[in-house]
Amino acid sequence: MKSSPSEEPARGGFMGRHFRRISDKMRYYFKRYGWKVGAAIFLYYLVRDTILYIILPILIAKEIAGG
């Protein structure tokens, strides 16, 4: 038996509202600044991942190896 729409739980909830808010802000920034937002996001993740996955493991390996 199907329940009426008023008895169904609200879709999205807490997480849905926050994802929608973030996507609305990203859409706004892309409309306002264009490709520069995409370039900034790309550079942020490039630097972050380089530090996390290349530099940090090298430093840890040097420390463990006694180098």
Return the higher-pLDDT residue of 30 and 7: 30
Whole-number Å distance between alpha carbons of 20 and 7? 23
How many residues does the structure list for the chain?
Answer: 67
What whole-number distance in Å separates Cα of residue 16 and Cα of residue 25? Answer: 14
pLDDT beyond 90 at 10: no
pLDDT of residue 6: 52
Give the C-alpha distances (Å, rounded to integers) separating 65 from 53, 57, 58, 62: 18, 12, 10, 5
Give 35-67 pLDDT, tens digit per residue: 999 999 999 999 999 999 999 999 999 998 886
Is the pLDDT confidence value at 2 over 90?
no
For residues 36 and 25, what is the distance between their CA atoms, to the nearest angstrom? 15
